[in-house]
Amino acid sequence: AAELLARRGPVLVKRLLIDELKIPFARAGRGMIDFTEEAAHSVPRIIHVEDLTGRAIGLAMLAAMRRERRITVVEGASAVDLLTLSHHSHDPIDAYEPPTCFGAFVLLRDRREVVPIVAGETVLATGGLGRLFLHTTNPNGARGDGLAMAYRAGARTLNLEYIQFHPTALYHPDADRFLISEAVRGEGGELIRRDGTAFMKRYHRRGSLAPRDVVARAIHEEMLQTASECVFLDITHRPADWVRGRFPHIHARCLEFGIDITKQPIPVVPAAHYSCGGVAVDLEGRTSIRRLRAVGEVACTGLHGANRLASTSLLEGLVWGTQAGESIARWLARERRSLRVPRIEPWRAEQEPIDPALILQDWLTIKHTMWNYVGLVRTTKRMKRALALLRELQLEIEEFYARARLTDPILGLRNGCQAALAVTYAALQNRVSRGCHYRVD
């Protein structure tokens, strides 16, 4: 995986991101692309668009997708479950076929209707699962939906216990846990206590540039030792104009909450950020289920091992997305005529309304359970308690899911609980502390 990334990554960045999508990466002297250094890297090798690289790439790709007439975008829809021969075919002979996916059941939210969408190849690109935790930098949709659907379909998963916690999310009572980029530390930002004392050298020789898991646990430990709600990230020693130019978005967001990062240290806490594991895939995104692929954070390519290196996830998505797309095009050119779709029974719709207070409370149970028992620091007792709580909750959720009027919130809750159970079980099974899976027992 690492060899593929190193070989194809630079070529695809140049061809797709720079030449084709015209993404405005930051430039240094003489118009050369600017490279910055982030935690655990040995040299400056990260290209960036100010402090919003992911957003810039995502918006450019969305715009390109909407211009492509061969792509049909279905908005206001939620995937319910994967269509597989073993679960949805009524032909007895399919019981002898290898596990195979042929599309998905999809909820069209405006019409309140579940329809099958059949495909020669199905690709999961559903993102991560940070919303399972109380504090996260992830968007609202990061509920583990793709992982849960693949898990129910019987796909092999890998390394689910390795949840990376970003060390520095903005801590403010009125703000979501907005990510304070690793690049702030890469450019000289120092982690300090409320009294101004730097502390990271006590935990790692590289200080504030230590790997993410080390920094996150160090902050966690400092907060416990000092009974503090947060620590602080100080970049005030750099010139104010330089800070505003290098981190315009972070500067603007913090100003919204009365924090001028050119004059004040930033209050920060760790937050769930990235899932290093996921649905196991090969170098072309194939899962253990035929005709089902996965790319991006929902997938586990093996590249990240037990602890992702900063800023490699965007590159991984670019490389494996291209690999999967090229492979699918070749496969369909050979096999399109031989594709067979079994008879699919219509979705049986139930109509019982679900009290939104129940959904809200169940989500709070999942988030607090995962944060307290399967978070930065884990023990056997904590994880066993999490497993017991989540299993009981899953039984209740499946009971009312079976009779509920299907909505996106109930889908998300079902998938979130399933994903939380999968992560907890994987963490309990792995008795070795490594990377971002840390057990004190």
Task: Count the neighbouring beta carbons within 10 Å of the beta carbon of residue 68.
Answer: 9
Q: What residue type is assigned to position 401 of the chain?
A: Y
How would DSSP label each residue in 180-243? --HHHHHTT-EEE-TTS-B-GGGT-TTGGGS-HHHHHHHHHHHHHHHT-S-EEEE-TTS-HHHH
Active-site residue flag, 212: yes
Of 143, 212, 246, 293, which is the active-site residue? 212
Sheet of strand 113-118, all strands in order from the earlier edge strand to the far edge: 77-84, 101-108, 113-118
Pseudo-torsion of CA 232, 235, 241, 246, nearest 10°?
-90
Q: How many Cα neighbours within 13 Å face the side chain of 350?
A: 13
The CA-based dihedral angle spanning residues 363, 84, 100, 144, taken in that order and rounded to the nearest 10 degrees: -10
**Residue 312 CA to its chain's centroid (Å):** 13
Q: C-alpha angle 218/220/222, rounded to 5°?
A: 70
What is the number of other CB atoms lying within 10 angstroms of the CB of residue 186?
A: 19
Angle separating helix axes 408-429 and 380-401, nearest 10 degrees: 150
Sequence-ordered list of residues with C-beta below 8 angstroms from that of 119, at least 6 positions apart, any chain: 102, 103, 104, 291
CB 377 within 8 A of CB 270: no
Cβ distance 121 to 293 under 8 Å? yes
Q: What are phi and psi of 39, to 5 degrees?
A: -55, 135
CA gap 225, 339 in Å, rounded: 61
Tallying the residues shown for the chain, one arrives at 441
Q: Distance between CA 208 and CA 377 in Å, rounded?
A: 20
Q: Which tokens go with 93?
A: 């002979």
Q: Are the CB atoms for 437 and 430 separated by under 8 Å? A: yes
Interatomic CA distance for residues 118 and 41, integer angstroms: 43
Active centre residues (catalytic): 212
